[in-house]
Amino acid sequence: MTGIVLVTHKGVGESLRHQAELILGRDLRLTTVSIGGQTDPDAGLADLVGALAGSLDPGGAVILTDLPGATPHNLAVRAAARHGLPVVSGLNLPMLLKVITHADKPAFELAGLADLGGHQGIVSS
């Protein structure tokens, strides 16, 4: 199984996790890291590196962030570079569900599925 790490603004990752657990009817094995508006970047990076160390599975891990270019995403990119992990930004519920249901795939394949799931979840009527 590939690890799944959500690195988001405070409350976003926890909320998406909760909704995914309700939809799937089970507890999920993933890690959420919240970055608050007042988080010191160095402390946030240290917290994230520690969380990643505990989340790495034999299949690696994929990191999902909520907003490209924002502090959580920037810290995730820096931490991911230390472990050679993929980062996908633009986290939404369809993306998360796609990743959870395909967590048996290798990290970089899972990152591609995350991108696909996120895009497939955007529908204009």
Domains of the chain: 3-120 (3.40.50.510)
93, pLDDT greater than 80: yes
The better pLDDT of the pair 93, 51 is held by 93
What mean pLDDT comes out for the span 23-42? 89
Q: Does the pLDDT of residue 15 top 80, yes or no?
A: yes
Write phi, then psi, for 50 (nearest 5 degrees). Answer: -65, -40
CB 35 within 8 A of CB 44: yes
CA–centroid distance for 69 within its chain: 15
pTM above 0.75, yes or no: yes
| pLDDT tens digits, one per residue of 104-123 | 999 999 999 999 999 999 99
CB 111 within 8 A of CB 62: yes
Phi-psi region of 94 (alpha: psi -120 to 50; beta: other; left: phi over 0): alpha
